């Protein structure tokens, strides 16, 4: 899990996980049922929130 104190490598891994998940959804969207789509969109949302939180904290660390 990506937190405000995570390393850049963890942030990269989280972003890659979100990319892979979105790619899976794009490739198989028509064959997924609505519950699967809803769950996967929720996971993508959670990953994007983690990345955004980390980026905001990193910006504050770098800019003081």
- Give the pLDDT confidence of 9-49 residue by residue, as tens digits: 999 999 999 999 999 999 999 999 999 999 999 999 999 99
**Residue-range domain boundaries for the chain:** 8-63
Band of the pLDDT at 64, cuts 50, 70, 90? confident
**Is this structure's pTM higher than 0.85?**
yes
Q: Alpha-carbon distance 2 to 15, whole Å?
A: 10
Residue 38's SS3 state is: helix
Phi-psi domain of 3 (left: phi exceeds 0; alpha: psi -120 through 50; beta: other): beta
- Predicted local distance difference test score (pLDDT) of residue 33: 97
């Amino acid at each position: 899990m990506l937190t405000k104190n995570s390393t850049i490598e963890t942030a990269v891994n989280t972003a890659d996980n979100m990319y892979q998940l979105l790619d899976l959804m794009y490739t198989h969207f028509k064959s997924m049922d609505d519950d699967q789509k809803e769950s996967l969109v929720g996971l993508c949302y959670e990953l994007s929130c983690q990345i955004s939180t980390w980026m905001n904290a990193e910006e504050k660390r770098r800019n003081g």
